[in-house]
């Protein structure tokens, strides 16, 4: 049993063969898929997918790239959507100073509003933080305790240590298979297995050997095998523990 804790099956890349992609995932042993909302429309579509497919659960959120277009009304809409069946988290939310598709002065208030919503609803949160670790932690510290996972972890060992000290989970993607990703593999090796979750972030970040092609949830099996190789343990142990982590975090099953 495996869980893809972060994917975007609502994206148009899957419009032609979504059913087949989900069937392939199930046949590969992926029993649960968390579809992540990255906008109001994406959150609505995540809910629709959760209603249609028994294996899919929804996270509802607004990506920091959307901050320039997302004010108080958008947060009110997320609150409404979060009451839907099979909503298991608020996310993905956070800060992105790498792309800066939205201004930092707009990203931060949106992030804060959605953290406050998370606290109000008692849901876990899925964090996006890219080249914004200092501000991310500074904001999060105001709202502890928080049940959070740092998705597609890309920070250094110092950021990892701080996240673990706050009780957060860390999620890795197939980019740890890339030839030049040795720093990420070092961080993955340093992360206790009982704090790790697995994700594809599909359609992005296909594993080595498939780069340039669309990623999909069945790649979680390859990711589990890579974590097992890095930690010199069995893939079965990785599957068992990361699945238990995800089921506990998202209250699945």
pLDDT, position 72: 92
| Contacts of residue 58, Cβ cutoff 8 Å, sequence gap at least 6 | 34, 35, 37, 43, 46, 47, 49, 50, 84, 86, 87, 88
pLDDT digits (tens, 9 = 90+) for 202-216: 999 999 999 999 999
pLDDT, position 100: 86
| Three-state DSSP state, 243 | helix
Residue spans of alpha helices (H) in 94-202: 104-121, 133-140, 157-165, 182-190
* pLDDT beneath 50, residues of the chain: none
CA distance 206 to 228: 18
Question: How many domains are there within the chain?
Answer: 1
Domain that holds residue 126: 2-250
- Segment holding 122, helix H or strand E: none
CA distance 197 to 170: 6
Read off the CATH number of the domain in which 131 is found.
Answer: 3.20.20.140
pLDDT, position 149: 98
Q: What is the pTM of this model?
A: 0.96
């Amino acid at each position: 049993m495996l869980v893809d804790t972060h994917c975007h099956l609502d994206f148009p890349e899957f419009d032609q063969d979504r059913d087949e992609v989900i069937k392939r995932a199930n046949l590969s042993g992926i029993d649960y898929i968390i579809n992540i909302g990255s906008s109001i429309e994406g959150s609505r579509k995540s809910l629709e997918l959760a209603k249609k497919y028994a294996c899919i659960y929804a996270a509802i959120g607004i990506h920091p790239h959307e901050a320039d277009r997302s004010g108080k009304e958008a947060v009110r809409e997320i609150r409404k959507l979060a009451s839907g069946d099979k909503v298991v988290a608020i996310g993905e939310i956070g800060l992105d100073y790498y792309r800066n598709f939205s201004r930092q002065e707009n990203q931060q208030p949106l992030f804060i509003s959605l953290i406050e919503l998370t606290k109000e609803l008692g849901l876990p949160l899925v964090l996006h933080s890219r080249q914004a670790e200092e501000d991310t932690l500074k904001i999060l510290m105001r709202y502890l305790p928080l049940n959070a996972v740092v998705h597609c972890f890309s920070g250094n060992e110092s950021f990892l240590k701080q996240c673990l000290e706050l009780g957060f989970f860390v999620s890795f993607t197939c980019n740890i298979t890339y030839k030049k990703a040795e720093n990420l593999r070092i961080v993955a090796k340093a992360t206790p297995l009982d704090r790790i979750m697995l994700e594809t972030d599909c359609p992005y970040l296909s594993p080595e050997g498939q780069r340039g092609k669309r990623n999909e949830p069945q790649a979680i099996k390859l990711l589990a095998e890579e974590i097992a190789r890095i930690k010199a343990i069995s893939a079965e142990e990785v599957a068992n523990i990361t699945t238990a982590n995800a089921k506990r975090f998202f209250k699945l099953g």
